[in-house]
């Protein structure tokens, strides 16, 4: 990562989720990154991304929103340990759009995520109004 007061020419990779098969079309892919309020001491960060799996078996609900926790490597302090992923939540997604995309820590110290309604024009499954689904919350 480029340091303060530099031209940004020097850079290093902090996190690479390519091996997690993120689905990066439409309104998908890496959607948000949040650093734990105690990141300087605990090295934790959180990632919200979309993933497409088993599309050949179930093309309708093959997409998932994934929220996971990662820890900085003990060997390389400016790189995430790729083996440290701990999936906190997965939410099936019916369409390729309306994913939301915000991870943030509130003043209470809790992690919050805006998921979006799951997609397609007009929210055809009424997810945003349905308390039985996490979509639209």
- According to DSSP, the β-strands at 102-105 and 111-114 are antiparallel
Residue 6: φ, ψ to 5°: -115, 170
pTM flag (> 0.85): no
pLDDT tens by residue, 30-75: 889 999 999 999 999 999 998 876 655 555 567 888 999 999 999 9
pLDDT tens by residue, 15-28: 888 888 777 667 77
pLDDT tens by residue, 97-134: 778 888 999 999 999 998 888 878 888 888 889 889 88
What span, in angstroms and rounded, lies between the C-alpha atoms of 3 and 125?
A: 47
């Amino acid at each position: 990562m480029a340091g303060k007061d530099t031209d940004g020419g020097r850079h290093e990779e902090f996190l690479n989720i390519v091996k997690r098969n993120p689905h990066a079309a439409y309104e998908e892919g890496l959607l948000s990154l949040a650093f734990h309020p105690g990141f300087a001491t605990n090295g934790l960060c959180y990632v919200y991304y979309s993933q497409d799996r088993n599309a050949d078996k179930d093309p309708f609900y093959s997409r998932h929103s994934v929220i996971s926790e990662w820890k900085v490597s003990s060997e390389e302090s400016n790189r995430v340990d790729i083996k440290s992923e701990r999936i906190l939540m997965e939410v099936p997604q019916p369409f390729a759009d309306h994913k939301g995309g915000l991870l943030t820590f509130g003043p209470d110290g809790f992690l919050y995520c805006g998921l979006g309604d799951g997609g397609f024009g007009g929210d055809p499954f009424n997810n945003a109004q349905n308390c039985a689904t996490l979509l639209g919350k």
